[in-house]
Chains A and B, each alone.
Chain A
């Protein structure tokens, strides 16, 4: 257990529905990252926050995806109008800013299946 928690661990939804995932980082970590991982591939970067500011978004992140970190603590990732291609593991990671290259601590992930 890294100290990063994600909820739910599994989500099954029908195409077109909205889903929201939550990530609780390690409390003293000011950076929070979201990734998506499909079978046999490494995690793909989606977005990251430093405190409450969203500093970067991947061009993979379509308009249907939105992430927030309102008080610089937990974060949510929402997917609107889900598509079957959204089925994947969604991973959250947190780190303490020390320049870059600092260790990222990953949560267990939320596995999404869109039917």
Chain B
């Protein structure tokens, strides 16, 4: 069955450093991968989409890579700020509207 793992339940880093979050998957060939941010008690908010034929996407301080050989995506936040503290979710999907699956999330804490 499909399985998505995110590197750890929680990640603590110092303000100003780069946060790197990992999303690994097995038994799946996704057409795209998305990253969402979720704050406590709120719904997820879309951040970035990367498709299977793309290696890297950037948006402001965010960078996502997608390696379909390793079955892995890396999500980077550069110059991290305490306001970046949240849970970050990866989600995979195919081109048929089915099998849209979220990972368990990584809770990021950026310490001042």
Contact = CB atoms under 8 A, between A and B. Distances in A.
Contacts of B61: none
Interface residues of A, number: 27
A101 B32 contact: yes
A2 B43 contact: yes
Contacts of A111: 41
Interface size range of chain B in the complex: 20 to 34
Given A42-B89, A42-B91, A43-B102, A104 B46 contact: yes
B21 to A, nearest CB: 13
A48 B97 contact: yes
Interface string B22-40: 0000000001101000000
A106 B103 contact: no
Chain B facing A: main interface SS: loop
A33 B46 CA distance: 15
Nearest to A31: B97
B88 to A, nearest CB: 10
Contact of B31 (A2, A45, A48, A101): A101
B38 to A, nearest CB: 8
A105 B46 contact: yes
A107 B44 CA distance: 8
Interface in A37-85: 40-45, 48, 50, 55-56
Contacts of A50: 97
A109 to B, nearest CB: 5
Contact of A41 (B34, B46, B96, B104): B104
A101 B93 contact: yes
Contact of B43 (A42, A55, A100, A108): A108
Nearest to A56: B98
A103 interface: yes
23 contacts: A2-B43, A40-B9, A41-B104, A42-B103, A42-B104, A42-B105, A43-B44, A43-B102, A45-B102, A50-B97, A56-B98, A100-B93, A100-B94, A101-B32, A101-B34, A101-B93, A101-B95, A103-B34, A103-B46, A108-B41, A108-B42, A109-B42, A111-B41
